[in-house]
């Protein structure tokens, strides 16, 4: 802030344009010599001049023909107040900006707004518009620092070369003097030379790698004869600075920028465009190009290049380079002459591709860059034409926000009515879900379906009128929507007719409302906010989004009636695939379905001779442990809510508590109660390492109180239970020791306890299902048990308890009970379905045969299979994938309409109304990757610091930089640089003669990572720490906010940290799905900024850079199809034995215990024939007859070999060798050192390939050089 007071009057009009927080004035900056940051401004407009607003200047950005003033505080003037009213004399001159006397300005401010200039409020980021503005300031500061010119069009650079000052937008001279190139061809590129230059990385000055031309290709009407071309660039000359050094009084040498360029008319009549000299003062920079022959439709492609043909001088080499280059083409008359670039030929299309082309028909690609990116200005009259095409060194694209309609005035009236009438409020729906008010509920839900029907009809009418040339895909899309509409109506009909479904719907809504409120409350408590449950219990916090409610309606028929076609007719059954952009609320949608399933199952009670009042009802499967742990917390809150409701009405919902289990790898949770006990003992002694532990919840999901493992977890070895209590010290929580002594939180985290007391809902990783072949007791999860110990739970043939116990302490004597078999799971939820692909997906598909079979039961002679629900944010070829994994027909919900921007359940908002996520591409040819990353991180960190010092909390989302990496190797290298170079540079950013506007000194303290190297124990803490906001000063011992967090694809799945707003992606990820998933983690609640750093030496990265804008505009279209081939021959090699053993072992009592492997003593046994039939039938249905034959042959062969092993004399056969079971020979082999054969069964779905074991012997590891010397060959007789 400056102390001397200056004030200015800006007159709006032709020369000055007002945006809300900035004003752009057309003029050369010399007119504004006296204007400084911190000056006061009075903005006036109209005739006579009236005050519009008062503002304070934060930054001044000068260009050649205009200057923009950015403000940090703007105070609009209410009511018409002319300058005369405010005591300001209107200036004589008509110039846009004139100086005002300070007292006059202050008096005017006082009169108009009643405050002094010192207290003019700073923007707080309260509205989306203000947040968007803060992001824009950040982006401009970064652009100025990386591309320039940072200090205006005629800037001076003192103390360093221009090539080192700017990272991108450089064209080298054509011919490099040999010595200049050789000196540093293999130099230490990217390593700072600390003595000479502490300011920037000496990016390799190797000319041969920096291009000397850049250009683009665009498509125009074949009739067009010529086109207007503009080329601009900056060149720098070595001269004396105009500024004096304050200490010595001398002016230093500097590089001064000379704006260069001009315009020309390019004739398109000839095929070759000869070199054109654009700037007469600078003849060695030319534009040249070519024009293609007419294409099939008569259009022609034009390619233009800007080429720097200078040679490299001996000294002052930067003079021969050109910086900030730009090419622009327009029609001479300003017409929209640019057309769509030709796309794939029609014969290469598939149906899905056609549909994608249709919904993205308005996102047209007009041009492609060469060594640079492009931007086209689309015509307002015709979306398929453009009026201007220009190159862009730092391309950007803002992805629209996808949200559920009903909140904006332009949305469909019915959607708005549902929100206003509270028809999406869970509490209200629960009130209506009673037999008395049922009609009102049905009428309310029909508002949704009737409006959907109307929407479908409107879209059908648009086919052939608004949507031309896509009749087939458009009609198919509407047919799919119609099918969904019919199923939604069926769901409403079930609620209208079926009392049990209605009661379960009421229960699910009450539980979900309670879960939502308590989750918000617990999170606030965990962060130390003062909140009350009543204050949070408002409609906004407990409302469904329309698609979530609709998704529940879709699932109701098949869950309310197990004999419904979705479960009883194999070829007609649908698997519902929930497709919604990341962050849209998918988890809530299927938690609602899960709550309904668990409730309706209890009401159905005994069906088909099976007990539905207990047992496992819902399996939720994930692919990564981070995701599993995060979702476990969310789902536990729902189970708590359901348990509270059950306790209030045990007569209706039964005496068995609702519980949730976490079934993941042994490295995370204990396998036995004894292991659990040992882990807690270690916790108490403070010796806990990183091993498995029952302490998977760090805080109570119901009230947010901390759970201290040593104190709040009790292991009762007599009962064989591990109890986790809420740590509320006043005992107010329903799940504290005071209120829930015999239960605690309704969670089970120890494998053995999960088998003995199957939870209502199980959260598992898909890997864990590989254990079906190795653990006979897994059968209890599928309800296959007929004896129970009243003290310890369900029994299986090998259980270490026989169910009969004498009295012990307070425990009564018990006798074993015979029980009705329990009903298997009704619902299987597969989250992040796109990750079920490749080798993992193939194994999952194979084991799914066993899971599906074990979950099947019969009612009235009909085989009932579980309902399947999957969710994903990116999907291609879903039909094949769902068929191959689940053997179901796919039903994608919500189905797309005719345009990507509206599918009825979600709409994309325009970027003007709602700022979206902004992507910016950075590519620096010739620079090493570490050098680029260091520059980008430093610019981001210091620009955010600058904004934070001025705007406070509004800049907080941009204070933590998330670095995303495609491999741990690259991440590890960057971590070292982040803790060294980035820290040093961020601290010294203003400590040189170079002007770096918009950047401020920053101490980067905390650099962390979210990768597979982080232990499970640390993950929740790190995610919590990411939510910590920045403060200007920190108390001693306070948890500080993280400056940089480096992450791998662990971040791309299900990490929800609302605070994060800034990400730097290192290199284009291998597939688009991962790119979308990872970058969607930023900008959840604030406008996000994603910087993709593309490596020029990788052709794929370069291609993404050259088509940056179009790729991002249509990136869901670019998602790659995943392959899943469970019944391919090689997949059967690896996974068939596991699936077959799982089926035989878990279905048959005699084969269940470990020694039971011996009982398969003849290939003709009914069990063996049944297993063969199940596997071969599945192969046939999934693939074809040939696959059936292969599967049958391979299964028969394995059974024969098994029988041969079983009948060998003189020993017993078990599945594996076990302690205390003496002479058992093992049938199955674990993957490992031995070669893989027919009886190798993986312990995890990921163990498809054998690992390579490397042993490093430290004793032999010497620091001495080896005794041998390499032979040196002389090349061409020259030196070595």
pLDDT at position 688: 60
What residues contact 466, with CB distance under 8 A and at least 6 apart? 898
Instruction: Indicate if the alpha-carbon torsion angle 1031, 1036, 1041, 1044 is positive or negative.
Output: positive
1280 pLDDT higher than 50: no
Let me know whether 1192 and 1265 are in one domain: yes
The whole-angstrom separation of Cα 255 and Cα 148 is 13
- How much is the pLDDT for 201? 31
Structure confidence at residue 74 (pLDDT): 94
| Tally of domains within the chain | 6
pLDDT band at 177 (very low <50, low <70, confident <90, very high): very low
pLDDT for residue 371: 94
Identify the pLDDT of residue 348: 54
Q: What's the Cα-to-Cα distance from 1231 to each of 1136, 1228, 1251, rounded to whole Å?
A: 14, 10, 8
Chain mean pLDDT for the chain: 88
Provide the pLDDT for residue 793.
Answer: 92
Report if residue 1080 sits inside a domain.
yes
DSSP letters along 218-254, please?
EEE-TT--EEEEEEEEEEEEEEE-SSPPTTT-PPPEE
Question: Residue 593: what pLDDT?
Answer: 97
Pick from 358, 393, 428: which residue ends a domain? 393
* Residue 151, in any domain of the structure: no
Per residue in 1141-1172, pLDDT tens?
A: 999 999 999 999 999 999 998 899 999 999 99
983, exposed or middle or buried, with CB in 10 Å at 0-12, 13-18, 19+?
buried
State mean pLDDT over 387-398. 97
Categorize the per-residue pLDDT at 203 as very low, low, confident or very high, splitting at 50, 70 and 90: very low
Residue 264 lies in a domain: yes
747: left (phi over 0), alpha (psi -120 to 50) or beta: beta
DSSP-based three-state secondary structure for 1164: coil
Residue bearing the bigger pLDDT, 80 or 746 = 746
| Bond from prior residue into 48 cis (ω within 30 degrees of 0) | yes
Distance of alpha carbon 762 from alpha carbon 621, whole angstroms = 8
Given this model, what pLDDT does residue 394 score? 97
% of the chain with per-residue pLDDT over 90 = 60
Phi, psi angles (nearest 5°) of residue 692: -80, 150
Placement of tokens 């720098």 in the chain: 236
Q: Let me know whether 90 and 181 are in one domain.
A: no
Whether the predicted pLDDT of 191 surpasses 80: no
Looking at the DSSP bridge assignments, the partners of residue 1003 are: none
Tokens of 460: 């059908």
Shared domain check, 440 and 564: yes
Residues 478 and 609 in one domain: yes
pLDDT score recorded for residue 395: 98
Note the pLDDT of residue 189.
37
Is 1142 in the same domain as 1156?
yes
Q: Do residues 818 and 787 lie in contact, with contact meaning Cβ atoms separated by under 8 Å?
A: yes
Same domain as 330, residue 182: yes
As a whole number, mean pLDDT of residues 1096-1122 equals 91
Asked, for residue 540, whether it belongs to a domain, the answer is yes
Task: Please provide the DSSP assignment of 1135-1162 as one string.
Answer: HHHHHHHHHHHHH-TTTSSGGGGGG---
For residue 270, give Cα distances in angstroms to 275, 293, 306, 389, 758: 13, 10, 19, 21, 79
- Residue 745 has a pLDDT of 94
Q: Record the pTM.
A: 0.89
Tens digits of residue pLDDT in 119-166? 999 998 888 899 999 999 999 999 999 998 999 899 999 989 999 999
Q: Establish if 138 belongs to a structural domain.
A: no
Torsion of CA 908, 912, 918, 922, to 10 degrees: 130
Residues 228 and 100 placed together within one structural domain of the fold: no
Q: pLDDT grade, residue 205 (50/70/90)?
A: very low
410-424, 703-717, 1242-1256: least confident range? 1242-1256
What integer pLDDT is reported at residue 184 of this predicted model? 35
Domain of 995, in residue numbers: 911-1118
User: What is the reported pLDDT for 794?
Assistant: 93
Give yes or no: residues 1171 and 1113 share one domain: no
Check whether residue 1143 and residue 1000 sit in a common domain: no
pLDDT computed for residue 1217 by the predictor = 85
Q: 45 - beta bridge partners?
A: 50
Residue 262 and residue 298 in one domain: yes
* Packing angle, helices 1129-1147 and 1166-1182, rounded to 10: 140
d(CA 1169, CA 1195): 10
What residues does 68 pair with on adjacent strands? 24, 61
Model pLDDT, residue 31: 62
Specify whether 564 is located in the same domain as 648. no
Strand partners, 156: 256
pLDDT exceeds cutoff 80 at 1010? yes
| Lowest-pLDDT choice from 47-56, 66-75, 193-202, 328-337 | 193-202
Integer Cα distance of 1064 and 1083 in angstroms: 13
CA distance 870 to 850: 18
Residues 1277, 1280: Cα–Cα separation, whole Å: 9
* Position with higher pLDDT, 932 vs 633: 932
The CATH number assigned to the domain holding 79 equals: 3.10.590
Tell me the C-alpha distance between 873 and 854, whole Å: 29
Residue 518: is its pLDDT beyond 80?
yes
Residue 933 has pLDDT above 90, yes or no: yes
Spell out the alpha helix ranges (H) of 990-1043.
1018-1026
**993 and 1041 share one domain:** yes
Within 13 Å, how many C-alpha atoms sit on residue 626's CB side?
Answer: 23
- With a CB cutoff of 8 Å and minimum separation 6, the contacts of 871 are 577, 578, 579, 580, 586, 589, 590, 829, 830, 831, 832, 833
How many Cα atoms are found within 13 Å in the side-chain-facing hemisphere of 1079? Answer: 30
- For residue 129, being part of any structural domain is answered with no
Judged against a pLDDT cut of 80, whether residue 179 lies above it is answered with no
| Residue 277 in domain | yes
Burial of 785 (0-12, 13-18, 19+ CB in 10 A): buried
Question: Hey, which bits of 807-941 come out as E strands?
Answer: 817-818, 827-830, 857-859, 862-864, 867-872, 889-893, 907-908, 917-923
Chain position carrying tokens 């119901």: 702
Euclidean distance between CA atoms 755 and 830, whole angstroms: 21
Q: Looking at residues 1032-1053, what average pLDDT do you find?
A: 87
Is the peptide bond prior to 197 cis by the omega test (within 30 degrees of 0)?
no
Task: Between 572 and 757, name the one with better pLDDT.
Answer: 757
Residue 190 has pLDDT above 50, yes or no: no
Give CA separation, 939 vs 140, 508, 921, 1263, in Å.
11, 49, 15, 40
The CATH number assigned to the domain holding 952 equals 3.40.50.300
pLDDT tens-digit map of 306-318: 999 998 888 888 9
Measured CA to CA, the distance from residue 294 to residue 291 in angstroms comes to 9
- The pLDDT score that the predictor gives to residue 952 is 92
Residue 202 has pLDDT above 50, yes or no: no
Say if 983 falls within a structural domain: yes
pLDDT tier, 918 (very low <50, low <70, confident <90, very high otherwise)? very high
The string of pLDDT tens digits covering residues 983-996 is 999 999 999 889 99
């Amino acid at each position: 802030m400056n102390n001397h007071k200056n004030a200015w009057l800006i007159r709006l009009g032709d020369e000055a344009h007002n945006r809300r927080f900035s004003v752009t004035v057309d003029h050369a900056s010399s007119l504004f010599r006296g204007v400084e940051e911190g000056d006061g401004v009075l903005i006036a407009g109209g005739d006579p001049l009236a005050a519009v607003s008062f503002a304070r200047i934060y930054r001044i950005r000068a260009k050649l023909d205009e200057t923009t003033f950015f403000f940090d505080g703007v105070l609009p003037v209410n009511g018409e107040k002319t300058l005369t009213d405010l005591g300001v004399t209107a200036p004589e001159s008509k110039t846009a900006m004139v100086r005002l006397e300070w007292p006059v300005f202050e008096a005017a401010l006082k009169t108009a707004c009643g405050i002094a200039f010192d207290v003019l409020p700073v923007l707080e980021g309260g509205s989306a518009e203000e947040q968007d503005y803060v992001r824009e300031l950040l982006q401009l500061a970064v652009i100025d620092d990386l591309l320039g010119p940072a200090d205006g069009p005629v800037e001076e650079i003192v103390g360093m070369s221009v090539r080192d000052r700017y990272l991108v937008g450089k064209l080298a001279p054509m011919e490099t003097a040999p010595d200049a190139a050789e000196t540093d061809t293999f130099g230490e590129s990217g390593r700072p030379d600390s003595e000479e230059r502490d300011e920037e990385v000496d990016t390799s000055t190797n000319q041969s790698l920096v291009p000397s031309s850049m250009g683009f290709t665009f498509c125009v009407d074949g009739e067009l004869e010529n086109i207007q071309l503009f080329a601009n660039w900056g060149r720098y000359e070595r001269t004396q600075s105009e500024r004096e050094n304050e200490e010595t009084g001398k002016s230093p040498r500097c590089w001064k920028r000379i704006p260069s360029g001009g315009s020309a008319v390019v004739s398109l009549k000839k095929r070759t465009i000869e070199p054109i000299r654009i700037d007469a003062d600078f003849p060695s920079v030319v534009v040249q190009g070519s024009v293609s022959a007419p294409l099939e439709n008569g259009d022609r492609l034009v390619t233009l290049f800007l080429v720097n043909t200078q040679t490299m001088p001996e000294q002052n080499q930067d003079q021969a380079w050109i910086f900030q280059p730009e090419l622009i083409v327009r029609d001479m008359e300003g017409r929209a002459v640019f057309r769509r670039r030709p796309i794939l030929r029609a014969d290469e299309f598939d149906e899905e591709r056609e549909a994608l082309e249709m919904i993205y028909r308005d996102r047209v690609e007009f041009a492609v860059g060469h060594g640079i990116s492009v931007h086209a200005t689309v015509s307002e009259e015709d979306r398929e034409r453009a009026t201007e095409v220009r190159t862009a060194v730092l391309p950007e694209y803002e992805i629209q926000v996808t949200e559920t309609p009903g909140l904006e005035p332009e949305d469909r009236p019915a959607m708005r009515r549902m929100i206003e009438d509270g028809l999406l409020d869970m509490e209200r729906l629960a009130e209506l879900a009673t037999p008395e008010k049922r009609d009102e509920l049905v009428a309310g839900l029909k508002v949704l379906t009737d409006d959907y029907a109307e929407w479908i009809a409107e879209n059908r009418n648009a086919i052939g009128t608004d949507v031309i040339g896509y009749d087939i895909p458009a009609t198919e899309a509407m047919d799919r929507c119609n099918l969904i509409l019919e199923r939604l109506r069926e769901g409403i009909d079930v609620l209208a007719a079926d009392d049990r479904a209605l009661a379960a719907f009421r229960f699910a809504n009450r539980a979900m409302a309670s879960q939502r409120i308590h989750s918000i409350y617990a999170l606030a408590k965990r962060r130390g906010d003062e909140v009350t449950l009543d204050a949070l219990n408002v409609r906004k916090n407990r409302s469904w989004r329309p698609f979530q409610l609709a998704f529940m309606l879709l699932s109701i028929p098949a869950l309310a009636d197990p004999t419904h076609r979705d479960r009883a007719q194999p070829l007609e059954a649908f698997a519902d695939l929930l497709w919604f952009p990341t962050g849209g609320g998918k988890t809530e949608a299927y938690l609602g379905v899960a709550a309904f399933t668990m409730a309706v199952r209890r009401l159905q009670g005994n069906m088909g001779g099976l007990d539905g009042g207990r047992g496992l009802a819902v399996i939720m499967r994930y692919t990564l442990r981070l995701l599993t742990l995060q979702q476990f917390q969310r789902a536990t809150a729902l189970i708590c809510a359901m348990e509270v409701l059950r306790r209030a009405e045990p007569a209706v919902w039964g005496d068995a508590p609702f519980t949730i289990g976490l079934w993941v790898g042994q490295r995370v949770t204990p396998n036995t109660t004894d292991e659990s006990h040992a882990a807690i003992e270690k916790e108490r002694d403070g010796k806990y390492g990183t091993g498995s532990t029952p302490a998977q919840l760090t805080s109570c999901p119901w009230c947010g109180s901390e759970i201290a493992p040593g104190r709040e977890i009790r292991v009762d070895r007599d009962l064989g239970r591990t109890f986790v209590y809420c740590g509320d010290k006043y005992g107010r929580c329903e799940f504290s020791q005071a209120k829930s002594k015999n239960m605690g939180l309704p969670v089970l985290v120890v494998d053995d306890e999960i088998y003995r007391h199957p939870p209502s809902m199980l959260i598992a990783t898909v890997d864990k299902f590989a254990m079906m072949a190795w653990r006979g007791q897994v059968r209890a999860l599928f309800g296959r048990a007929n004896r129970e110990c009243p003290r310890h739970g369900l029994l299986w043939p090998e259980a270490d308890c026989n169910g009969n116990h004498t009295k012990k302490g307070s425990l009564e004597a018990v006798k074993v009970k015979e029980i009705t078999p329990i009903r298997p799971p009704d619902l299987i939820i597969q989250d992040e379905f796109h990750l079920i692909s490749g080798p993992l997906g193939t194994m999952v598909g194979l084991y799914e045969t066993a899971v599906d079979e074990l979950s099947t039961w019969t009612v009235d002679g009909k085989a009932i299979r579980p309902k399947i629900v999957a969710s994903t944010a990116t999907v291609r070829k879903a039909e094949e994938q769902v068929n191959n994994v689940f053997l179901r027909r796919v039903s994608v919900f919500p189905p797309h309409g005719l345009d990507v921007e509206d599918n009825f359940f979600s709409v994309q908002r325009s970027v003007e109304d709602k700022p979206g996520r902004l992507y910016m591409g950075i590519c620096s040819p010739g620079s090493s990757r570490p050098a680029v990353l260091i520059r980008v991180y430093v610019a981001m960190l210091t620009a955010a610091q600058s904004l934070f010092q001025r705007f406070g909390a509004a800049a907080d989302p941009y204070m933590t930089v998330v670095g995303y990496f495609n491999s741990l190797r690259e991440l590890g290298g960057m971590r070292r640089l982040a803790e060294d170079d980035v820290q040093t540079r961020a601290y010294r950013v203003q400590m040189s003669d170079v002007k770096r506007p918009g950047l401020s000194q920053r101490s980067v303290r905390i650099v962390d990572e979210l990768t597979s190297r982080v232990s499970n124990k640390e993950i929740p803490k790190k995610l919590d720490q990411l939510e910590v906001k920045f403060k200007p000063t920190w108390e001693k011992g306070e948890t500080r906010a993280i400056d940089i967090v480096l992450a791998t694809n662990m971040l791309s799945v299900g990490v929800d940290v609302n605070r994060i707003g800034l990400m730097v992606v290192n290199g284009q990820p291998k597939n688009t799905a991962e790119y979308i998933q990872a970058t969607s983690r930023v900008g959840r609640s604030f406008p996000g900024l994603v910087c993709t750093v593309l490596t020029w030496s990788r052709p794929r990265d370069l291609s993404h850079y050259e088509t940056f804008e179009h790729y991002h505009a249509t990136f869901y279209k670019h998602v790659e199809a995943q392959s899943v081939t469970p019944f391919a021959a090689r997949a059967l090699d690896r996974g068939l034995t596991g699936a077959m053993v799982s089926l035989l072992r878990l279905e048959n009592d005699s084969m269940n215990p470990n020694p039971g492997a011996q009982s398969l003593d003849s290939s003709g046994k009914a069990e063996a024939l049944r297993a063969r039939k199940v596997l071969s039938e599945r192969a046939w249905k999934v693939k074809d007859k040939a696959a059936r034959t292969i599967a049958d042959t391979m299964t028969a062969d394995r059974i024969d070999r098994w029988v041969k092993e079983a009948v060998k004399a003189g020993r017993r056969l078990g599945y594996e060798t076990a302690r205390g079971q003496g002479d058992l020979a093992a049938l199955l082999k674990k993957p490992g050192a031995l070669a893989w054969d027919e009886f190798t069964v993986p312990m995890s779905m990921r163990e498809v390939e054998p690992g390579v074991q490397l042993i490093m012997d430290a004793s032999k590891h010497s620091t001495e050089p080896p005794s041998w010397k390499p032979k040196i060959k002389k090349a061409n007789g020259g030196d070595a």
